[in-house]
Chain A
Amino acid sequence: MNSFFSGTRLRDMIRAIRACKTAAEERAVVRKECAAIRTSINENDQDYRHRNLAKLMFIHMLGYPTHFGQMECLKLIASAGFPEKRIGYLGLMLLLDERQEVLMLVTNSLKQDLNHSNQYIVGLALCALGNICSAEMARDLAPEVERLLQFRDPNIRKKAALCSIRIIRKVPDLAENFINPAAALLKEKHHGVLITGIQLCTDLCKVSPEALEFLRKKHTEGLVRTLKDVVNSPYAPEYDIAGIADPFLHVRLLKLLRALGQGDADASDAMNDILAQVATKTESNKNAGNAILYECVETIMSIEDNGGLRVLAINILGRFLSNRDNNIRYVALNMLMKAITVDAQAVQRHRATILECVKDSDASIRKRALELVYVLVNETNVKPLTKELIDYLEVSDEEFKGDLTAKICSIVEKFSPEKIWYIDQMLKVLAEAGNFVKDEVWHALIVVISNASDLHGYTVRALYKAFQTSSEQESLVRVAVWCIGEYGDMLMNNVGMLAIEDPVTVTESDIVDVVEIALKHHALDLTTKAMALIALLKLSSRFPSCSERIKDIIVHHKGSLVLELQQRSLEFNSIIEKHQNIRSTLVERMPILDEATFTTRRAGSLPAAVSTSGGASLNLPNGVVKPSTAPLVDLLDLSDDVPAAPGSSGGDFLQDLLGVDLSPAPTQSGTNQVQKAGTDVLLDLLSIGVPPVQSSSSTTDILSPIQNEKSPIATLDALSSSSSPSAQATSSARAAPMMDLLDGFGPSPSKPENNGSVYPPFVAFESSSLRITFNFSKQPGNPQTTLVQATFTNLTPNVFTDFIFQAAVPKFLQLHLDPASSNILPASGNGSITQNMRVTNNQHGKKSLVMRTRISYKINNKDTLEEGHINNFPREL
């Protein structure tokens, strides 16, 4: 013993730390202790190793670094006595995790301890291995663990079983070695061994189809019998919880049965009786009983269909839902989510209760309920449900508003029966929670407004009124400002009054006031202010009487510190002052935005993303850069390329000022581009689009200086062209291009992979009656995930009804299937259904995609089924 270092006892150290009044004091005590422990470690002091490690664990728990103690764990584990090993293993599990290199050093000690004659030492080693082993250790020590599954003492067998679970989770290849010993554990009587054995089998089923098949064939009946015995077992004080013998065993048995019954009618059949018994006989007044019922319901929902049982299960959920215990209601909502795929009607019956849960004071329950409501909405109940949700939006918590708003918007977009309803609901949401609304939502709203020409007046008046009360809601302000810019004259003259409206008296200067407020509001961001400036420019032409005032406001921003605003106000000012003759044509009302292309664009589909862009056309051999006759036309034009462009004259360009033209550009052939190169190079320059062949962003940048020399106004072009690369990125990430213009101020560096993700359309399946085409796209920065848009075309002269497309993928892929655009496929290719999928390839670069598909539909009410296997996907997906 070292007389110089006597050290404090563990108890004293804990006391000293607890006595500290401030964090600084605590740090000081800990620092002193750590210093003493380090000294002791350096002196290789054996007597205090045990105590030092205990102290270190406590210090570690407080969040201080303790890595210097790691080697001490290994030394303690390597010593002979049980007390040293016990604390050593505890320290190992606490201070280290599987990612530390040091852990490898312990493999040898573990191996020796697994073969130790003292069973408690074997137990310690198994516990440590089960809790922190890495894949390499799992491989090295699997044979030892496998052997211990047959150890004489049941307490070792159960530990070995759980250890095996860790091993097969880390190294699924080892699963087959464990199938037989694991199956042997299912016959055990000792509850600990039985529970762990069942758990091991459940995990084996997850990683190994052979294990699943084997257990299903050989052990389904045995497990059903075991469950029967447990359910009917007499009172056993050792395992009793709330009058039920071993609920843990119940739950695990039900889980394994679920794995065996899923997708197998025979196995499902074998367990029907016992499931019915559990579902009806289990006491539901205590948590333990409810845990079993909950598990039982899930098993019933997952195994092959048995109508009677499912009714039973849904009834249990109904009972749960009306329970006063929040826990029970929470799990009921959770399970109804799964039940909805099985029996949507039955879940609909509980709609009112579920809607109440959305308003619960408990955030967990609210979240579950909201998700459930979201899937419950359909065409018939959308109006009342949306009303309820929007009413609730007014009183909901701030932190819940984000989720709620997103769901409401999505419901409204998906199911809106008519445009006026859509616009009304969106305006309510914007006014209530405009700051929570995502960009693409209000972009979509603008597209809809633009298309509803009979509602322009109504909308702009409604927005004007909403603005008066909710001017702090950013998205509302943006939509309002945009609409006022476009339809401001309708606001004033009460054009297109609907019967339900009250007339408003608004003067020109009131309208300019609104835009001015938006422009000057300190809380609103740059995008909004930029939109307000554009609106002012438009109003200056529409309201000549206010032109001077507008000019003043614009001039005021000439001194803006924000480059974008400064530049725009300068340019707009010059338009107002010097270009009176073209101003009115310049600021004409926007052409109607194309809804269909906008939707496909939003869905991130490929065809719209493929278009020519400036860079591409300039790279053509004969691409000559002609100075455009009116550089102004490109002002702010971010349109994708315009279909009419090849034949268009300068006059037509004007139309594109501020224009967002979303028309789909067909995959361009070389000749097509040549044609265009002459006429609208500049237009292209600024356009958003992903070139079909090469990455063009760099060329776009090079162009900017060239342009700058052409005309003073062309600086604008440079500005917008510098923003266009970033706009490209966002547009493929499904934002509306017009808004990209406004968003894309920061010239963010373009990423070449944005452009690289272009794949040719691909015929995935073709039969005499049906053709499926896949279009692929990738999100930038996420090469593993492929967005697939499937297009279905009917090749027969008969209409397909009840059209359903299903797809399955192997384990290394993950598939997310969005709802199809319709379930009716018109005859003879007169239209198509599209459906989007998202496939994530976990082994990207190693394996390519494969997919099994099943398509069912009805021709003249006759069921037809087609199946296909697609394995010729492009390699690089």
Chain B
Amino acid sequence: MIQFVLLFSRQGKVRLTKWYSPYTQKERSKVIRELSGVILSRGPKLCNFVEWRGLKVVYKRYASLYFCMCIDQEDNELEVLEIIHHYVEILDRYFGSVCELDLIFNFHKAYYVLDELLIAGELQESSKKTVARQIAAQDSLVEAAKEQASSISNIISQATK
């Protein structure tokens, strides 16, 4: 089971956190501080796994961002690397060659994508296409609601003129 997902930049700035097991606010900031310290200080050629408090953290760097997933002892580290890559590819398709700024200004969208990929710390979907379709369908629902709202406010503003 994936205990939590962390995204942080090379400067240690947090870009996304998702907790599948309960951690208090205090513990969360401690975990983030500790792990970003450990991971950022590791050299480029080392393996992508760090043993940490009886758990394992699998991380991978994409450009300036580090994607980390913390898993149980008995989980398959190599598979988790694939899951991270899977997520990155989906983000890439969704944003159209994703960069750190996309994830900063549209952080909520990165969360929506993650929620279509993982629930309860387990993988939900292995097809990138299906995830993309699900997100697109929900985005269009939001768009439709917005348009409706603006047309209503137009009507109201015209009526009150």
Contacts and interface: CB of A to CB of B under 8 A. Distances in A.
A162 B124 contact: yes
Contacts of A290: 78
B17 A191 contact: no
Contacts of B141: 82-83, 120
Given A155-B134, A330-B77, A94 B124 contact: no
Interface stretch (A361-369, A469-477, A587-595, A647-655): A361-369
B124 A61 contact: no
Given A83-B141, A327-B49, A364-B46, 11 more contacts: A54-B108, A57-B108, A82-B138, A90-B108, A93-B18, A165-B120, A195-B125, A287-B81, A294-B76, A331-B77, A365-B47
Top-8 shortest CB links A-B: A291-B78, A326-B47, A162-B119, A130-B119, A166-B120, A362-B46, A192-B125, A291-B79
A326 B16 contact: no
B46 A361 contact: yes
B105 A14 contact: yes
B126 A248 contact: yes
A192 B118 CA distance: 11
B17 A326 contact: no
Given A192-B126, A326-B46, A97 B19 contact: yes
B39 to A, nearest CB: 11
Interface in B60-88: 76-79, 81-83, 86
A579 B87 CA distance: 81
B47 A327 contact: yes
Contacts of A191: 125-127
B78 to A, nearest CB: 4
Interface in A65-102: 65, 81-83, 86-87, 90, 93-94, 97-99
B127 A192 contact: yes
Interface of B: 14-20, 22-25, 29, 32, 43, 45-51, 76-79, 81-83, 86, 104-105, 107-108, 111-112, 115, 119-120, 122-130, 134, 137-138, 141-142, 145-146
Contacts of A362: 46-47
A130 B29 contact: no
A793 interface: no
Interface string A755-788: 0000000000000000000000000000000000
A162 B2 CA distance: 13
A288 to B, nearest CB: 6
A159 B123 CA distance: 10
Interface stretch (A238-246, A565-573, A716-724): A238-246
B46 A131 contact: no
A158 B120 contact: no
Nearest to A196: B124
Contact of B16 (A61, A126, A238): A61
A62 B29 CA distance: 9
Nearest to A192: B125
Nearest to A248: B126
6 contacts: A65-B25, A98-B22, A130-B119, A159-B119, A169-B120, A199-B123
A249 B126 contact: yes
A294 B78 contact: yes
Interface in A108-151: 120, 123, 126-127, 130-131
A131 B117 CA distance: 12
A163 B120 contact: yes
Contacts of A248: 79, 82-83, 86, 123, 126
Interface in A1-31: 11, 14, 18
Contacts of B43: 361
Interface in A663-713: none
Given A82-B138, A248-B126, A364-B46, A291 B81 contact: yes
A58 interface: yes
Contacts of A169: 120
A158 B14 contact: no
Contacts of B108: 54, 57, 87, 90
A614 interface: no
A571 B73 CA distance: 56
Contacts of A11: 105
A744 interface: no
Interface in A355-382: 361-365, 367
Given A126-B119, A162-B122, A58 B107 contact: yes
A701 to B, nearest CB: 39
A326 B79 CA distance: 15
B104 A14 contact: yes
Q: Looking at B16, B107, B112, B120, which has the most chain A CB atoms within 10 Å of its CB?
A: B120
A162 B118 CA distance: 9
Given A126-B119, A327-B47, A327-B77, A288 B82 contact: yes
A608 to B, nearest CB: 32
A93 B20 CA distance: 9
A295 interface: yes
Nearest to B115: A127
Given A58-B107, A61-B107, A192-B127, A199 B81 contact: no
B95 to A, nearest CB: 15
Nearest to A61: B14
A234 interface: no
A131 B119 CA distance: 6
Contacts of B134: 123, 155
A590 B130 CA distance: 78
Q: Identify which of B14, B18, B47, B138 gathers the most chain A CB atoms within 10 Å of its CB.
A: B47
Contact of B119 (A120, A163, A241, A331): A163
Contacts of B83: 248
Contacts of B45: 326, 361
A94 B45 CA distance: 34
A98 B19 CA distance: 11
Contact of A61 (B17, B23, B142): B17
Nearest to B137: A120
A661 to B, nearest CB: 40
A247 interface: yes
A606 interface: no
A83 B145 contact: yes
Contacts of A384: none
A717 B45 CA distance: 61
Contacts of B119: 126-127, 130-131, 159, 162-163, 166
Nearest to B43: A361
A49 interface: no
Given A127-B119, A166-B120, A158 B104 contact: no
A293 to B, nearest CB: 9
Contacts of B76: 251, 291, 294-295, 298
Given A82-B138, A83-B141, A90-B108, A195 B48 contact: no
A195 B119 CA distance: 12
Contacts of B49: 327, 330, 364
Nearest to A328: B78
Contact of A195 (B14, B16, B123, B145): B123
Given A11-B105, A57-B107, A162-B119, A287 B20 contact: no
A63 interface: yes
A601 interface: no
A329 B126 contact: no
A192 B119 CA distance: 12
B73 to A, nearest CB: 9
Nearest to A89: B115
Contacts of A249: 126
A611 B48 CA distance: 53
Nearest to B14: A61
A295 B105 contact: no
B124 A158 contact: yes
Contacts of A238: 127-130
A177 B53 CA distance: 35
Contacts of A331: 77-78
Contacts of A251: 76, 79
B56 to A, nearest CB: 9
Given A63-B29, A288-B82, A327-B78, A364 B120 contact: no
